[in-house]
Structure 1
Amino acid sequence: MMTNSIITHPENKAVTEIVFVKTIPSLGVFELRPIDLDADIPLLHNWVNREYAVYWGMNGFSIDEVHDSYQKILEKTDVYMGIFNGEISFLLECYNPEEDSIGEYYNVEKGDKGMHILVAPFEKSIPNFTWSIFTVILDFIFCDANNQRVIVEPDARNHKIHLLNKKAGFVFQTILDLPHKKAHLEFCTRKDYYKALQA
């Protein structure tokens, strides 16, 4: 069975900037830190303009448009850069559904936390890499006792993410007709996630 070492130290955020660490012995070290708009936007601009990131909704954006978008996103959302063995490898957005338009489409409960994930383009294939990122992110979210359920609303056409969500314990609720996309509304409770890890 895979063992994980998890360290959280939000108190040291100003010193280290790293807010979460998870080590997967067979793979490496994953870290999360808050986004730095000036330093990270050029890399994100590269990612969001690639074909695989079409569902992110920023294909064709200029670097200034990506910067402005994230400046606005940060008003209501916590955005983190994910680091794998020293290399920036994914992005995580965590938001309060009550403060997001998704809250108009379902009954928000206390302890709900929304998330969006974008993985960097692969330089080389690493077995189960995206799944490992998923466990890092869900471990991070659920290490906060206030977070009881994770909400996702991926594009209905994004079949790869639907499979990954199901593997992590997300349960499909309904299809939503959002202004910018047709989406799957899916929930994952803390219990659902830990049960999925044992499967």
Structure 2
Amino acid sequence: MQPEWITPSDNRLALNPAFALRPLAIEQDVAIIQPWYQMDYAHFWNMQNMSVEATAAFYREAAQRGLDAYLGFDDGAPAFVVECYDPARDPLGECYPVQPGDIGMHFFVGPAQRPIRHYTRDVLRTVMAFLFDALGAERVVVEPDARNERVHRLNRLVGFVDAGTVQLPGKTARLAFCTARDFAHSLEEQAP
């Protein structure tokens, strides 16, 4: 299955044109992404002890609960995962007043073959453009582990505004929101 959403669009010139996304094909893609979750840096995802079969089962069950997952590509090679969900159908929805057009998001970047400066920021920019441009988000909501300072820094770089901590099953999370305007402003502030 080939990537179906390719960037950049005319108004997103700061995005990496080598990135693309398509819906996760669980049975086909799980063998690619499951080893990523075994990496040391994946500990905040709480999937390090999951087998290929358990990872596939997780995504099948999550899809039944309304989670949409996408596989991201860098020049045709699998490179990242994006998960989108409706906060109103999630425990997060009990922690803040959900607004129409809110989309919850998680993203995970697979292991790099070689370090590339600003790579993860550029992946997150593409993810955000996808959420606003392709999925029609009014506002993107994230709830990473409060201890994950690296992702909090990345979130600020793409326009997220911190809204404090919330208690979710299994973690204390840092709630943050990003509007399309906040995201566009972040692209104007930072050169590619």
Contact 1:17 1:34 in 2 (8 A): no
Residue correspondence of structure 1 range 23-172 to structure 2 within 5 A: 23=8, 28-75=17-64, 76-144=66-134, 146-172=136-162
For residues 25-56 of structure 1, give each alpha carbon's deviation from its aligned partner in whole angstroms, at most 9, with x where no partner exists. 99651110111111111121101111111111
Moved over 6 A (4+): none
Distance of 1:39 and 1:145 partners within structure 2: 23
- State the aligned residue count: 184
Secondary structure of 2:108 counterpart = strand
Give deviations 1:124-178, integer Å, cap 9, x for gaps.
0111111111111111111147411000000111111000001111000011111
Structure 2 match to 1:22: 7
1:196 aligns with 2:181: no
Change (3 A) 1:125 1:177: same
Secondary structure at the counterpart of residue 121 of structure 1: coil
Gapped runs of 5+ residues in structure 1?
Answer: 1-15
Contact 1:48–1:56 (Cα < 8 Å) also in 2: yes
Among all aligned residue pairs of Structure 1 and Structure 2, give the percentage whose two residues are the same amino acid: 34
Higher relative contact order (CA 8 A, sep 6+): 2
CA contact (8 A) 2:6 2:17 kept: no
Give the superposition deviation at 1:101: 1.3
Structure 2 residue identity aligned to 1:36 = A
Name the CA distance, whole Å, in 2 between partners of 1:144 and 1:25: 17
Query: Comparing both structures, which one devotes a greater share of its residues to strand?
Result: 1
> Could you tell me whether the CA contact under 8 Å between 1:169 and 1:195 is conserved in 2?
yes
Q: Which amino acid is 1:85 matched to?
A: D
CA shift for structure 1 position 19: 3.0
- SS in structure 1 opposite 2:57? helix
> Deviation digits for residues 38-82 of structure 1, max 9, x if unmatched?
111112110111111111110111111111101111121111000
The CA RMSD over aligned residues, in Å, is 1.8
After TM superposition, the structure 1 stretch with the greater mean CA deviation from structure 2, 116-125 or 37-46, is 37-46
